[in-house]
Structure 1
Amino acid sequence: MQPWTLIGVLTLLIAVPDALAVKSNDFKTCSQAGFCRRGRALSARALEAKSAWKSPYSVDVPSISITPDKAVFTAGVKSSLYPDIKFGLELRVHDDGVVRVRMDEVNGLRKRYNEAASWALISEPQISQDITWTAGKKDIRAKYGNNEVVVAFQPLKVSLFRGGKEQIVLNGQGLLHMEHFRTKAPAVTKTEAATPEEEEGVMEGSEDAQVVVEVNPRAWFEGDKEDDWWEERFSTWTDTKPKGPESLSIDISFPSHGTIYGIPQHATRLALPTTSGESPTFTDPYRLYNADVFEYLASSPMSLYGSIPVLHAHSADSTVGIFHAVGSETWIDVSHPSAKSTQTHWISESGILDVFLMPGPTPADIFAQYSRLTGTPALPPHWSLGYHQCRWNYISSDDVRTVQKRFDEEDMPVDVFWLDIEYAEEHKYFMWDQKSFPDPVDMTNDVAAVGRKMVVIIDPHLKRTSSYPAYQEASDRKVLVKPPSGEGEYEGWCWSGSSSWIDFFNPDSWDWWKSLFKTTESKSGWTWTSSTTDIHIWNDMNEPSVFNGPEISMPRDNVHYGGWEHRDIHNINGMLFSNLTSQAVQHRTDPPTRPFVLTRSFYAGSQRFGAMWTGDNLGTWEHMAAGIQMVLANGIAGMSFAGSDVGGFFGNPEPEMLVRWYQVGIFNPFLRAHAHIDTKRREPFLLEQPYKGIVKDLLRLRYTMLPVWYTAFRETSVTGVPVLRPHYVMFPKDPKGFDVDDQYFIGASGLLVKPITTKGATETTVYLAEDEVYYDYFSHHAYRGAAKGKEITVQAELHEVPLFVRGGSIVPTRERPRRSSPLMKRDPFTLRVALSKAGGARGELYLDDGESYAHQAGQFVWRGFSAEVGKKTVRVASRDLGAERKGEAVDGVALASYNPKNAFAETVGEVRVEKVVVLGLGGKPSSVTVEGGGELVWEYTAGVAASGKGEGVASVLTIKDPKVLVVKDWAIVIQL
C-alpha cells in the first residue's frame, strides 16, 4: 500500500473533484490488467489460427456419470496441455429448463473461489426429473421438452438447442481456459542467456534451478512467457499474487441472436455496442469491477459502481440469457460475426465456471427464470416511490426544517429529506454532529409529522478510534478486513480519515451489525438511540471506495473470512453491506416493517434488498440521456428500483436542463434530486417562474401516478419483469424496436414516455411499434401506429413531456394534491379508460398498507378494470383479481390466504372512484348508468379528426363521481 501522510489525506478530502476526477491513469484498461491481457491474447491467437485452432480441453469419457434419478451429469475434463491437471464438469437441468454448467479444478494445489452463487441465489434450484439422456461416441445429450443440451467430448463444448436450433454455445470458439494453480518456479541462474524456449522449459514446481531445454508445446495456447503471474504493478501499487495465475476464460456464443442487453453497470446504449471484431464501437471490453468512478464518462465500457453478470440475447424469434456466477473482476468482449449472431468472451480474474443457461424463449420467461435463481425485487415501502430531496449537505437541523417549510409554502409534494456525510461527527456514522444536529430525534419527528421520512448515510468505512463504538466493537469482535498478511486490520483512507472495513463475509458480523440500528438501549452493546424508525439508510462508498487504494479501492490481496482474497469477492462485497443493512432496518421493529436502503454498489441478487442509483453523474445533457439507458439496463438485470440523480451530482444546470431532468426523474422508479457540496442550492422552490411552476406540476404528476408505480412494483416483485420496460420487452418480435432506449413503458399500465434530453428541443419523434391508437396523456390527441412500426412527430415545448396512453389500457390515478404520499391513503381515484382500436381496455390497481409485510398474508386490495364494447354499449367494470387468481402459484402464500374482506381492505372500504374518463368512444352516449342504479352526471366532447392523417383529438367522456367503491365489484354501462 502506498504510504500516505495525514496532510496528504486531508488535502485529498478537501480537493475531492481534482483528486478523484476520471483520468486515464486512475483505472485500468484491459492492457494494464495481466489476466485480461492474457485472455485477449488467447483470443487473438485463436483468430489468427482460424480453423486450425482447437481447444485443448476434452471430456474424459470413462469418467462420465449420471445420477440414478438422471438429474445430474458429471465428468472429468482433461487438458492436453497439462495432462496431470484434472478438472471436473457438472451439468444440471432445472425444472424450469435452466441449465447450470459448472467446472472446477479437482484436487488442485489450492481451492478456487466457488461461493459466488451462494450469495446470489435465493435457494438451491429444483432439478428436473424429466430428462432423457442419450450417449454417443462424440457427445452426450439431455432432452427435455423442446430443449436439448449437448455436451461434445473433444473438444469440450456445451450447446443449448431449442427446436433443433442452436441457441447458446460454451467454448464454441475454443477460448475456455482455466489457469490451474501451480507453485512458483525458482529464478534461473545461467552464465549465458537462455532462449525463450529454455526459459519456458523450467519445470513448474521444481526444487532447483535446473534449466530443462525443451520446446514448450503450451506456447501456442497460453503464450510464450509468464505475464504478471505472481506479481502485478499498477501506478504506485503492487498486487502480490500468492496464489499465482488463476484466471478463467470462456467464450459464450449466441448463433441465432444478433442483439444483446445487460451486464450492467455501464454508461452506454441498452443494446450493447461491440468491443471486438470489425470496426468496434469501443476498443476495450466491458469491465465488471465495482469502482468509485468520479465524474464518469457518458459513453464508455468502463466499470462503474455495480456488476451484474447477466446477459440477454435477443432476436425476433426468441430471447435467451446467461448468468455467470463469478464475483471477481471480469472483462467481456462483444462481437457480431453476422447481423444475426453474437459472440462474447468472458475473462475473469478468479473463480470457477458457474454458468446458468436460460432458454427463454420470451423476455418474460427470461425474467422469470432469472428471478427463480436470484429473487425478485423487493416490494418497497409506498412512500419511497415519492420525491426524495437530497444534497451534500443539508448543514443543520434548522436547515432541514427550513427546506421542509419552503416545500410546504410552495405546495410542492415531497416524501423524504436526506442527509449526507456531514451530519456525522468526524464522519463517524451513527453519531450526530451535536453542533449542527443537536436534536436529531426532534428533527426527525418534525419531518414525520406530515408523513415524511428521513434517509441518512451509513458508509462501510469505520474511523479507527476508540471513541467510535462501531469501530471499537468491530475491532474487539475481529470482524474487520485483514491486510495481505492475514493478521490484524487493514487500514486505508476514506471520508473518516484512517479507516477499517467490516468484513461482511464473516458471519460473526451479521447479528452485531443489525443490532447497531436498534433505537432502544441494549445491555449487549452500543445502539443508535438518537435515531427513530422514520430514519432509513443510504449505503454509499461500498464498492469499496478507498481513497489511497489501487483504483480507489481495496487492495486485491487483502484477506476476508475463510482466507479468500479480496480479488475473489470484490464485486459481491457491496451487496453484503446493503443486505445486512436492509435486514437491520427491517428488524428494528416487531413485527418487521419494510426497509428503504439505497446502495451504490450491487451484484446479482441485490434487487432483494432495496434501491440503487447511477452514482456521481454530471449535470450535462449527455448524462441525462445516459441515465435513462443505465436505468433500463439495470432493470433488465433485476435492479428495477433505480434512478439517476436529478440535475446531476456535479455542476449547476441551467433552468431548462433542470426542468428536463425533472421530466426524466418523475418517470424513473427512484426519484431523487441530489447535488455536490460545491454546487449552488437548487431545490425546486428556488427556481424562477415559469420553471418553478413547471417543476411543481411535474412533481404533482408523479404523485398523481403513484398508484401506477406501486401496481407496477407489485407485479415486478412477483414476476421479475422490470418496472421500466424497453421496446424489446414489450414487442419482442419487432426488430425496429431492438435498439430503442430513449423511450419506454411503465409496467403493464400502457403508459409510454419519451423524455426530452436535448437542449432547445420543441418537438421529438416517438416510435409506435404496432397498429394501435396512442392517446396523448394531456391533450387526448390520438396517434395511430402501423403494423410494421411508425414514427410520429410530437410537440415537446419545455413544459411538455411526451406521455401517451396505449389504446386498450385503463390507468388509475389519484388527483388530489397532497404534501406527501401517506396523506393520500384514503383519497379517491380517477380512471382513464383508453379504448383500443377494437374498443376494449384493461387495467389493474394494487393497494396495501405500504409499510408492513401483511400483504404476504393476503392483506391487500387487487382490482382488475375492464371495458367491454358491445353493439350499442360500453361496459366499464371492476372485479376482484385477488379472488379471481387465488389458485395461481405465482403469488404463493399471499393469494392462498387472500380474503376479500381482509383487515386492510376494511380500512379503505369507503375509498371511491370519483371520476371516470373514457377516451375514444365512437359517438355521444344516450345514457350513462351504474349497473343496477340510476343515471350518472357526465360530459361528452366529440373528437376532431385530422383529415388524411388517420389521427386527431379523441372524444372524451367524463363521468363525474359515480360513487362506486374501489373494494367492490361494479359496472358502469354507457349506452350509445
Structure 2
Amino acid sequence: MRLGSLVSVTSLLLLTSTTLAFKAHDFKTCSQSGFCRRGRALSARAKDAGAAWNSPYTVDASSVSIQEGAVFKAGVKNSLYPEVNFGLEVRIQDDGVIRARIDEVGGLRKRYDEAASWALISEPRISQDIKWSAGRDAIRATYGPKKEIEVVISYQPLKITLYRGGVEQVVVNGQGLLHMEHFRNKPEPPPAATETSSEQSQPTDGEPQVVLEAAPVNHRAWFEGETEDALWEETFGTWTDTKPKGPESLSVDINFPNHGTVYGIPQHATRLALPTTTGDSPHFTDPYRLYNADVFEYLASSPVSLYGSIPLLHAHSADSTVAVFHVVGSETWIDVSHRSEKSTETHWISESGILDLFILPGPTPEAVFRQYASLTGTPVLPAQWSLGYHQCRWNYVSSEDVRSVQKRFDEENIPVDVLWLDIEYSEDHKYFMWNEKTFPDPVEMVNDVAANGRKMVVIVDPHLKRVQNYPAFKQASDLKVLVKPKSGEGEYEGWCWPGSSSWVDFFNPASWDWWKSLFKTTPQVDGSWSWTQSTEDVHIWNDMNEPSVFNGPEITMPKDNVHYGGWEHRDVHNINGMLYSNLTWQAVAARGDVPKRPFVLTRAFFAGSQRFGAMWTGDNLGTWEHMAVGIKMVLSNGVGGLSFAGSDVGGFFGNPEPEMLVRWYQVGAFAPFFRAHAHIDTKRREPYLLDEPYKSIVYSVLRLRYTMLPMWYTAFRETTVTGVPVLRPQYVMFPKDKNGFDIDDQYYIGQFGLLVKPVTEKNKRDASVYLAEDQVYYDYFNHFAYRGAAGGRNVNVPAGLHQVPLLIRGGSIVPTRERPRRASSLMKHDPFTLRVALSNTHTASGDLYLDDGETWSHQSGQFVWRGFTASKKGKVISISSSDLGKKRPGDAVDGVSLTSYDDRNEFAKSLEGVRVERIIVLGVEKKPKSVKVGGKEVEWEYLEGVGAAGRVDGGAATLVVKDPKVEITRDWEIVIA
C-alpha cells in the first residue's frame, strides 16, 4: 500500500514542520560525499607534497592546432593513465572572454556536456583578430585595445593563465589539482589469496606454509590516494546511490594571485565577500556547496547549499575585477582560501560533467557584468505591477478570504498590487484544479481582484499527484514525459505535498508544448484539458522545484534517476529547477491573444534564470539575523545575474514582534522583489492588523515604495541592457576603495545614487553609513547634507523606528510620483516630482523610462525615455529634459535597438498632458533672483540651509519649484538665476 493512502494532510503538515526542519544530518557535508572527499584529499596530498607536487596532465604539443583564428585545440594526457585521452579547446571570444573546455575523448561513455546549452543565450562569437604565438613549452595570445591581455597555455604541466598588463589575473591548474576521473569498467572482486607449498618453506611440524603474493606497487597512489573511495556506490542515511557509471568527478583549482576578495557562487546564507573555508582558522570548515535543495529553516550563516546554484565567481581588487563561470550542472563544492589580502585560491569539485570554464577578463565590475550577460542574458524587463507590494501567506483559505483581505487593504488605503495563493487553493494539491468547497468561483474572485487594478499569483509546484483523475498527471504519463527511476523504465514515484507524486522531465522536448497548453485559459480545439478556470490576471509561483522530494535523499530526487537522453539526475540536478520556471514563463507569456509580460517566481535557479522572472530566498526565519543575511543574499544573487530578488518580509517562520516587522518592511521596500509571506502556523500579520504606531509606519513605508516605482522601473530598464544589478554593492560603485570591499549592509539602487542602509538590529535608532568619496550626500527625507571625504568617511544617520536611512548621492536626479494609489496600475497618468541633488560642482543627471508596463509594445518603440541634466554656468543653474531614445539611438531598451524609435509614438501620445508637478533642487547655495521656464517666471520657494558646499554636515539649502508647467514627454529647460 502506498504511503500516500495512509498519511493525512494533517500528518503531512506535521511531517514537514518537524522532520523537514533544518537538521545537520538531513544534508551531506563534504566528508559524507564521496567525490568531495576525494577532491579535498587530493588537495591535502598536494599541500603535503609542497614543491614536489606536479600535475600529471600535460598538453601533447604534437597535436596542437589553431582553427578559426582564435580557437586552440590539443590533446591532453594524464601520465598516470596513458591509455586515456582528453581534448582541450580554448576559444577567445570577440568580447575578450576566454572559454576553456576539457572533455574525455573516445572514452567508455560520454560525459554530460549540455549544461551550456541551457545556460547560454547563444553560441558565443569567436574573435577574428587573435594571433597565437607558439613556443616549445607554451602558446600565447595577446589582444585587447592596448594589447594588454595575454592568455598563456603552458604544456607541462597543463596550465592556463590570464594576464593583464603583465600581471596574473586568473590561473587554472596552477596548484595541479586538475583531475577528470575517466570512465572505467567496474573491477571484478579480487581473487582469494593464493596458497603455495614448497619443501623449503615447510615448518618443522610438517604443515604447509601459506605465502601471499605481493601486491603490485600502485604508482597512482600519490595522486589519487591509496584506496578507492565510493567510486561505484555510496550510502547516506537509508539511501544508496548506485553510481552505474562509476567515478566521473572533476576537480580543478582556479586561483587569483592578485585578488584578495571574491563574491558570488550564490546561493548561500553568508556574507557577500565570501569567507575562507580552509586553513588554520577557517570561517567555515566545509566548502561552499552548489546543490539545489529544500532547506527548511536554514541557518543564517552557513556554506550549506540552498535552493539555487550559479557557478559564477567574481574576484576583485583595487586594480581590477575578473570572474570565472564554470558551466556545470552537477553538485559542486568550492573551497575558498584567502592566502593574503591580495591573493585568493579556489578549488572546484564537481560530481560529473566536463570542464567548461569561461574566464571573464573585466577589468571593471561593469565589464564583468556585461561579459556575463552576453553569455547568459540580461534580466527580462518585468511587468511594472510586479514591482509593487505583494501580499502572501500559506494560505488564504477561500475566495471570501481573498476578497476580505483586498477589502481591508482598500478600507485602510494601503497600496498593494498582488494577492497570492499557496498550495491549499488546490484540490488535494492537484495544481490547476481549484478546491470547489473553498474556492467555488475562482474566475469571479480573480476578476474582483483585477477590478481594483490588481493581479493574483497562484502556486503551481512541479510534483504531480499520481491519480488518473488529475489531467496534468494523466497527460504527462500518456506522453511519457515523466522522470524515470534508475532502471530507466516506467515513472519515478516519490513523496511530496499530494502524497504519491511524479515529476515532469522538462529536458524532454515532448513536454514543452504540452506544458504550455495547460495554462491556456480558453477551451482547446483538440479537446485537451487546460486551465479554463483561470484568467490572464493570474500569474505563477513555482516552488519546490529543486526538486523537493520529501522521502528522497537530502529531501530531493535520487541521483541515479534517469532523464531524457539517458542522462542521470546527478548530471542535471542544478539545471532542473530553471527549466521548470523557464517553461512556465513561456506558458504564461503565450496564453493570451495579446502577449503580455509574465510574472513567474521561482525558488530553484541556475545561471540564466534571470531571463525568466524573479526569485526569493526561500524559507527564512522571522529573526533579526535572517533579516540581515537576506540583504546579503539578494546582493549576492544580483552578482550572479538575478537582480529581481527579495526575501520574505517578516520571515516565513515565526511571529516577529512589531518592531522587527516594521524594520523588515523597510528592508523589503528597498528590495527589487517586495513580498510579505508567512507560514501556515503563524499569526496573521497583514499590515492593517498592526497596532499603532506600527501600522502607520508600515503604511508610510508602502506609500514610499509606490512613490518610487518610476525610479525602480527605470533602474530595471538599465539592467536589462547592461546586466549591472539593480542593487549595487559598495565594491561595484567604488571598485578602487578597499574600505568598501567587505561592506554588504548598505547598497545603491541603480544609477540613481540612492544609498540605502536598512536597520536590522533591535532597538537601533541610528545608523553608521559609509561614504566612500569626497561628495555631498543628502538625506532623502529632510535634506540634511552629509559630506564625504577622500579616503572614505562614516557618518551617523538618524534611524528612528519610522526612519529609513536613505541618502541621495550628489549628482543624481530621482523621478518619483508622489500620489500613491491603491495599486500601481492606477498611477499611469499621475504627475511627476524630480529630486535634483546637486553635486559639489553643481551638476546632476538622471533618467526616467516609461512604457505601458504590461505588453511587449516597448520592443517596437512604444515608450518614453527622458534624460534630465543639471549644470551651472556662472551664476545660472540650468535643469533640462531631453529625449534619450532620440539622442541615443545606439542604446537599447530591453535589448532592442532604438534606431527606428519615433519620439511621438502612440504610447508617448497617451501621456500628453502628464506634467512635472514639482522639482526639488538640493544644494542651491544662494537664494535665486528668478526661476523661469521658457522665459516665464514660475512659482518657487527657497529654504535656507548650510548648503552643499559647506565644510560641515548640516541642512541643505533647498529650492522647490512648484508646478513648473512642463510635460514629462517634452523637451524643456528651467533656468535658475
Q: Quick check: TM above 0.5?
A: yes
Matched, 1:112 2:114: no
2:903 corresponds to which residue? 900
Distance across 1 between alignment mates of 2:193 and 2:372 = 60
Q: CA deviation at 1:510?
A: 0.2
Asked if the contact 2:720/2:893 (under 8 Å) is kept, the reply is no
Distance across 2 between alignment mates of 1:514 and 1:240 = 35
Matched, 1:784 2:787: yes
For residues 681-736 of structure 1, give each alpha carbon's deviation from its aligned partner in whole angstroms, at most 9, with x where no partner exists: 00000000000000000000000000010000000011000000001000000000
Question: What is the TM-score of this pair, normalised by structure 2?
Answer: 0.97
Matched, 1:252 2:251: no
Matched residue type, 1:58? T
Distance across 2 between alignment mates of 1:682 and 1:659 = 11
1:463 corresponds to which residue? 465
Superposition misfits of 4+ residues, deviation over 2 angstroms: 2-15, 191-194, 210-213, 887-894, 944-949
2:28 corresponds to which residue? 28
Q: CA deviation at 1:189?
A: 2.9
Gaps of 5+ in 1: 195-209
Distance across 2 between alignment mates of 1:474 and 1:4 = 22
For residues 381-431 of structure 1, give each alpha carbon's deviation from its aligned partner in whole angstroms, at most 9, with x where no partner exists: 000000000000000000000000000011000000000000000000000
2:202 corresponds to which residue? none
2:426 corresponds to which residue? 424
Which residue of the other structure, out of 338, 341, 346, is the alignment partner of 1:339?
Answer: 341
Q: CA deviation at 1:163?
A: 1.2
- The sequence identity of aligned pairs, in percent, is 71
Asked if the contact 2:717/2:893 (under 8 Å) is kept, the reply is no
2:293 corresponds to which residue? 291
2:206 corresponds to which residue? none
Matched, 1:574 2:573: no
Q: CA deviation at 1:211?
A: 8.4
What does 1:378-457 correspond to in 2, within 5 Å?
A: 378-457=380-459
For residues 328-373 of structure 1, give each alpha carbon's deviation from its aligned partner in whole angstroms, at most 9, with x where no partner exists: 0000000012210100000000000000000000000000000000
Matched, 1:176 2:178: yes
Q: CA deviation at 1:13?
A: 3.5
Seen in structure 2, the aligned counterparts of structure 1 residues 420 and 5 have a Cα distance that, compared at 3 Å, is closer
Distance across 1 between alignment mates of 2:396 and 2:321 = 47
2:121 corresponds to which residue? 122
Asked if the contact 2:924/2:948 (under 8 Å) is kept, the reply is no
Mean Cα deviation higher: 18-27 or 655-664: 18-27
Q: CA deviation at 1:590?
A: 2.7
Mean Cα deviation higher: 879-888 or 230-239: 879-888
Q: CA deviation at 1:450?
A: 1.5
What does 1:218-617 correspond to in 2, within 5 Å?
A: 218-524=220-526, 525-617=528-620
The number of residues matched between the two structures is 957
SS at match of 1:429: strand
Seen in structure 2, the aligned counterparts of structure 1 residues 314 and 445 have a Cα distance that, compared at 3 Å, is same
Seen in structure 2, the aligned counterparts of structure 1 residues 30 and 762 have a Cα distance that, compared at 3 Å, is same
1:202 corresponds to which residue? none
Q: CA deviation at 1:278?
A: 3.1
Matched, 1:707 2:706: no
Distance across 2 between alignment mates of 1:23 and 1:97 = 45
Asked if the contact 1:188/1:211 (under 8 Å) is kept, the reply is no
Q: CA deviation at 1:309?
A: 0.1
Matched residue type, 2:48? E
Gaps of 5+ in 2: 197-211
Distance across 2 between alignment mates of 1:126 and 1:946 = 48
Seen in structure 2, the aligned counterparts of structure 1 residues 193 and 676 have a Cα distance that, compared at 3 Å, is farther
Which residue of the other structure, out of 828, 840, 843, is the alignment partner of 1:837?
Answer: 840
Question: What is the TM-score of this pair, normalised by structure 1?
Answer: 0.97
Q: CA deviation at 1:277?
A: 2.0
Distance across 2 between alignment mates of 1:258 and 1:270 = 14
1:205 corresponds to which residue? none
Matched, 1:72 2:75: no
1:654 corresponds to which residue? 657
For residues 826-880 of structure 1, give each alpha carbon's deviation from its aligned partner in whole angstroms, at most 9, with x where no partner exists: 1000000110111111010000110111111111111000111121111110011
2:629 corresponds to which residue? 626
Which residue of the other structure, out of 185, 188, 192, is the alignment partner of 1:186?
Answer: 188
Matched residue type, 2:445? M
Asked if the contact 1:855/1:894 (under 8 Å) is kept, the reply is no
Matched, 1:749 2:752: yes
Q: CA deviation at 1:959?
A: 0.7
Q: CA deviation at 1:125?
A: 0.4
Matched, 1:922 2:921: no
Matched residue type, 2:104? E
1:141 corresponds to which residue? 140
Distance across 2 between alignment mates of 1:949 and 1:23 = 55
Distance across 2 between alignment mates of 1:409 and 1:342 = 56
SS at match of 1:70: coil
What does 1:728-807 correspond to in 2, within 5 Å?
A: 728-807=731-810
Seen in structure 2, the aligned counterparts of structure 1 residues 147 and 600 have a Cα distance that, compared at 3 Å, is same
Matched residue type, 1:139? A
2:885 corresponds to which residue? 882
Which residue of the other structure, out of 673, 694, 699, is the alignment partner of 1:696?
Answer: 699
Seen in structure 2, the aligned counterparts of structure 1 residues 193 and 825 have a Cα distance that, compared at 3 Å, is farther
Distance across 1 between alignment mates of 2:129 and 2:676 = 52
For residues 264-295 of structure 1, give each alpha carbon's deviation from its aligned partner in whole angstroms, at most 9, with x where no partner exists: 00000000000012311000000000000000
Asked if the contact 2:381/2:894 (under 8 Å) is kept, the reply is no
Distance across 1 between alignment mates of 2:266 and 2:333 = 12
1:132 corresponds to which residue? 131
Mean Cα deviation higher: 363-372 or 590-599: 590-599
Q: CA deviation at 1:896?
A: 1.6
What does 1:856-875 correspond to in 2, within 5 Å?
A: 856-875=859-878
For residues 508-563 of structure 1, give each alpha carbon's deviation from its aligned partner in whole angstroms, at most 9, with x where no partner exists: 00000001000000133111000000000000000000000000000000000000
For residues 881-934 of structure 1, give each alpha carbon's deviation from its aligned partner in whole angstroms, at most 9, with x where no partner exists: 11110134787644122110111111112111000011110110111110x241
Distance across 1 between alignment mates of 2:603 and 2:774 = 41
Matched residue type, 2:94? D
Distance across 1 between alignment mates of 2:470 and 2:87 = 48
Q: CA deviation at 1:75?
A: 0.3
Seen in structure 2, the aligned counterparts of structure 1 residues 900 and 261 have a Cα distance that, compared at 3 Å, is same
Distance across 2 between alignment mates of 1:123 and 1:466 = 40
For residues 296-323 of structure 1, give each alpha carbon's deviation from its aligned partner in whole angstroms, at most 9, with x where no partner exists: 0000000000000001000000000010
Asked if the contact 2:183/2:246 (under 8 Å) is kept, the reply is yes
Distance across 2 between alignment mates of 1:962 and 1:579 = 46
Asked if the contact 1:841/1:866 (under 8 Å) is kept, the reply is yes
SS at match of 1:811: strand
Mean Cα deviation higher: 938-947 or 511-520: 938-947
Distance across 2 between alignment mates of 1:286 and 1:608 = 25
1:199 corresponds to which residue? none
Q: CA deviation at 1:132?
A: 1.4
Distance across 1 between alignment mates of 2:403 and 2:895 = 44
Asked if the contact 1:857/1:894 (under 8 Å) is kept, the reply is no
Matched residue type, 1:65? S
1:685 corresponds to which residue? 688
SS at match of 1:431: strand
Distance across 1 between alignment mates of 2:293 and 2:894 = 37
Asked if the contact 1:289/1:328 (under 8 Å) is kept, the reply is yes
Distance across 2 between alignment mates of 1:641 and 1:132 = 40
Q: CA deviation at 1:164?
A: 1.3
Matched residue type, 2:376? T
Matched residue type, 1:818? R
Seen in structure 2, the aligned counterparts of structure 1 residues 61 and 818 have a Cα distance that, compared at 3 Å, is same
Matched residue type, 1:120? A
Q: CA deviation at 1:33?
A: 0.2
Q: CA deviation at 1:591?
A: 3.3
